[in-house]
Amino acid sequence: MPADEHAQRRIQGQQGGPAQQALPGLRAPDELAPRLGALLGRGALLLGRVPSRAHGRTMTRPALRRLVLVLGDQLDAASAAFDGFDAATDAVWMAEVADESTHVWSGQPRIALFLAAMRHFAHGLRELGLPLHYTSLDDPDAPPTLAAALGRDIARLAPDELVLVRPGDWRVLQALQAVASEHAVPLTLLEDRHFFSTPARFEAHARGRKQLRMEYFYREMRREHGVLMAADGVSPEGGQWNFDADNREAFGRDGPQGLPAPPAFEPDAITREVIALVRQRFADHPGRLDTFAWPVTREHALRALRCFVDERLPQFGRWQDALWPQQPWLWHSLLSAALNLKLLDPREVVAATEAAWREGRVPLAAAEGFIRQVLGWREYVRGIYWTRMPGYAALNALEAHEDLPAWYWTGATHMACLRDAIGQTLQHGYAHHIQRLMVTGLFALMYGVHPQQVHAWYLAMYVDAVEWVELPNTLGMSQYADGGLMASKPYVATGKYIQRMSPHCKGCRYDPAQRTGETACPFTTLYWDFLMKHETALAGNPRMALQVKNLVRLDDTQKKAILARAAAVRSGEVA
Ligand SMILES: Cc1cc2nc3c(=O)[nH]c(=O)nc-3n(C[C@H](O)[C@H](O)[C@H](O)COP(=O)(O)OP(=O)(O)OC[C@H]3O[C@@H](n4cnc5c(N)ncnc54)[C@H](O)[C@@H]3O)c2cc1C
Ligand code: SF4
């Protein structure tokens, strides 16, 4: 989208009404949540500086019963953490710490999104008069890690109990539990009711199955939650569970037509302050902030949802796999970041989508295709993460050991498809699914990059990256490092796949039809190299058998030439 069009779409007004009326909050577990939700959705209250020190009132309070820990991806007023919250005896704890931006070398858009959303949430809490202990990165004595910040505050505040909703990262859970036990303070860990499912529910699904497949889990979720179900309550609407066959076209010669511009949210004073901080403090981190326009409040998130349902959902699915140069958004929802920060509840996203279909505003294939991502994939990968960690993170089934090429951090490559995907990742902290899976992920897989390095890159670069969702997608779906738990086969393809789905190859110095020679497309070379290297292992996989069989067409000379060209790609001679 041209920059000026993008700017025109920036939402200036902050009045809360319409989005909330159209999508009334579905969450009201206790008395505090609706009050908090209403406040956090009202923009006028969100425009001040976040005080960086404990609320004065709390300093005079005699004793602290519960310290409620709210992490950067738990910005949910209806969270179980607030159940029974009593402002007279309890307090909220939030902390900005450098380590969360440096343990993987996070991109500037990702850092800015988390900090801006945290500060808006904190401001809402303070406006409500909730006692809040907030550590800001601006504090000269801000501890470097979450564990250090919590340890300091336990010593200072002496709470009777810590309350935490299951975090999005196994590492963080371990660290916080360790601090609690070091200080002998009980930590109550609550399940995260943001999700439709729980790790225990996923475990029950997985028990006794030889093979896990998302499709079966998705059908159970549909039945259990009554989503897109026919009147009999047991059959799917439209007589099918999955309308994928109607989806996934490539664009014609003229490219995407009538593409609606997505909403962009003008940074307010709080966000501008965060942007300045990130530019100064994380100057050597990748990415840019000049077009930062992500939703950072619940009110923004609701507007983003409404806009998607009204304008882009009708075409969602149809173009889900297509790529077009300089078009980062296409008909995707761009809701992952708001969902993962918990500014949006997946129930309201699914309900709004189903309602749009029932009202005849979107085709069933589009609604089902989108719901499958949220109710199916999103819940499924979380189940994999929590039931397989910590061992999952160390898997490397294909024994890949190459370093990630340095140009992944800069986009400086002659490969047009990769340059485009990485360029927009640096600009926006976003790339859509097919770019992640079939451009950046595909290349890393066939190149043989160590899965830990691929994981660190995805976790660092995307605004929606939290480990519970990023890791299974990267390690399992994209890199096949779990040996087939997530995906039934490695997603490998030649450059011709990218040529079919996009016009990138026309503007590229390489030729997707060539596997060897000066102009050979590195994807095509590495595809054949990958099949040769893993021939024995892959031959036993029925879904790969046909691809592996094609190796018989290569004679020794051709094989040698492929190996030589693949070596040139890995040495950086071809990039
Ligand atoms: C290598 C790799 C890494 C990924 N890392 C992340 C990540 O860190 N965070 C993240 O949220 N998604 C990740 N995904 C999944 C997916 O690419 C993104 O959710 C999606 O591109 C986000 O853009 P969107 O909101 O426009 O999604 P849409 O295309 O509009 O999809 C709608 C929603 O469905 C959910 N969804 C779709 N696909 C998946 C999936 N495979 N797993 C989980 N949820 C899904 C997301 O919440 C998304 O917002 C990754 C995929 C790959 C292949
Ligand atoms: S020729 Fe190869 S590297 Fe170039 S755009 Fe096509 S697939 Fe990408």
- Domain boundaries of the chain, sorted by first residue: 11-190, 199-389, 406-571
Residue 373 is classified by DSSP as I
Amino acid at 54: A
Distance 487 CA to ligand 2 centre (A): 24
Same fold: 11-190 with 199-389: no
pLDDT at residue 462, rounded to an integer: 98
As a whole number, mean pLDDT of residues 54-69 equals 68
pLDDT at residue 266, rounded to an integer: 97
Distance 511 CA to ligand 2 centre (A): 7
* pLDDT tens track for 116-167: 999 999 999 999 999 999 999 999 999 999 999 999 999 999 999 999 999 9
Task: For the chain, give the percent of residues with pLDDT over 90.
Answer: 84
378-388 and 199-206 helices, crossing angle to 10°:
90
Entry pTM = 0.91
As a whole number of angstroms, the distance between CA 439 and CA 222 comes to: 31
Mutate to test the pocket of ligand 2, among 443, 500, 504, 574 (most ligand atoms within 8 A of CB): 504
Between the alpha carbon of residue 486 and those of residues 66, 217, 376, the distances in Å are: 39, 12, 13
Amino acid at 320: Q
The answer to whether 300 touches 11, Cβ cutoff 8 Å, is yes
Q: Which residues, at least 6 apart from 154, have a Cβ–Cβ distance to it below 8 Å? A: 67, 162, 179, 180, 183, 185
Distance 473 CA to ligand 1 centre (A): 8
Task: List, in sequence order, every residue forming a beta bridge with 69; answer none if it has no partner.
Answer: 93, 164
Mean pLDDT of the chain: 90
> Does pLDDT of 91 surpass 70?
yes
Give which of 433, 343, 463, 493 is closest to 23, Cα–Cα: 343
Higher pLDDT, 87 or 27: 87
pLDDT at residue 37, rounded to an integer: 52
CB of 440 within 6 A of ligand 1: the answer is no
The answer to whether 135 touches 52, Cβ cutoff 8 Å, is yes
Question: pLDDT band for position 7 (50/70/90)?
Answer: very low
Give which of 452, 448, 440 is closest to 409, Cα–Cα: 440
The CATH number of the domain covering residues in 11-190: 3.40.50.620
Give which of 238, 432, 421 is closest to 316, Cα–Cα: 432
As a whole number of angstroms, the distance between CA 493 and CA 442 comes to: 8
pLDDT at residue 38, rounded to an integer: 52
pLDDT at residue 467, rounded to an integer: 98
- For residue 51 the two structure tokens come to 């005080």
* Atom nearest to 477 CA in ligand 1: 53
Amino acid at 491: Y
Distance 336 CA to ligand 1 centre (A): 6
pLDDT at residue 512, rounded to an integer: 98
* pLDDT tens track for 208-260: 998 899 999 999 999 999 999 999 999 999 999 999 876 778 898 899 999 99
As a whole number of angstroms, the distance between CA 480 and CA 470 comes to: 14
As a whole number, mean pLDDT of residues 181-191 equals 98
As a whole number, mean pLDDT of residues 498-520 equals 96
> Does pLDDT of 291 surpass 70?
yes
The CATH number of the domain covering residues in 406-571: 1.10.579.10
* pLDDT tens track for 405-415: 999 999 999 99
As a whole number, mean pLDDT of residues 25-33 equals 40
Q: Is the dihedral of CA 263, 267, 270, 273 positive or negative?
A: positive
Q: Give the architecture-level CATH label for domain 199-389.
A: Alpha Horseshoe (1.25)
